[in-house]
Amino acid sequence: MIDLTGKVALVTGASRGIGAASARKLADCGAAVLLTARSGDAIDRLAGEIRAAGGAADAKTCDVSRYEDVSAAVDLCVERFGRLDILVNNAGLIDPISRLAESDPEDWAKVADVNYKGVYHGLRAALPVMLSQGSGIVVNISSGAATSALEGWSHYCSSKAAALALTRCADKEYGDQGIRVVGLSPGTVATDMQIAIKASGINPVSQLDPSVHIPADWAAEAVVWLCSDAGAAYAGTDFSLKTEEGRRLVGLT
């Protein structure tokens, strides 16, 4: 098991799915974890479970589309645990799925605010702390949609493409200063998002059999692996779990 003892992690969108699984895995590996999400009750429960298992965890309600919320979460993390070593920018939306001509402008913009601006807000709030420490790792949860065009997903594809550009820009600006910024493209994961995708009936992803989706725990394993020394080779890129090689590297064979 990768040893993260002494490290401190902040996970956005930690109330369920990949975020919750990542928070548990980071704690299992020894990291202290601050869980953030809009669902305060859910992250409070999960933080309590982690503490009951002997880990260190706290929770803070946070809407990543609001910079002041993200900045306050980073401040609390440093106040509570003394530092910030790992940021997992996981919070993301895909609803409502619709073609461009039928999309609601406010709903479309909300997805962009979370999936794109939320990543920027995380980077902007965490980077000064990490730079002052001389080290830090940011894992941005990405998607194959970042480099694809899928019907009904204009908001999701474009926001994930923008987030990938932020990964690349952050690596170019701070990669030589002890900061690792890397994306994780996990493929299709068995989360609530897949339920919404299935219900939409739009594009081939909605037609996939549920059996092909990987468990959220696999994505969490990849998040932790990207925080290990092995993950350094993928800085500034999206590491993919869709390939057999990617899964082998993480140990998911």
DSSP letter assigned to residue 177: G
Nearest alpha carbon to residue 230 among 2, 66, 51: 2
For residue 51, give the amino acid letter.
R
Any idea what the Cα angle at residue 187 is, between residues 228 and 61, rounded to 5°?
Answer: 70
- What residue ranges in the chain does DSSP mark as E strands? 8-11, 32-37, 57-61, 86-89, 136-141, 179-185, 238-240
- Nearest partner of 244 among 236, 234, 232, 252, judged by Cα: 252
Other Cβ atoms within 10 Å of 64 Cβ, number: 27
The single residue of 67, 116, 120, 156 carrying the catalytic annotation is: 156
C-beta separation of 150 from 143 below 8 A: no
Is 156 one of the catalytic residues?
A: yes
Just list the catalytic residues: 156
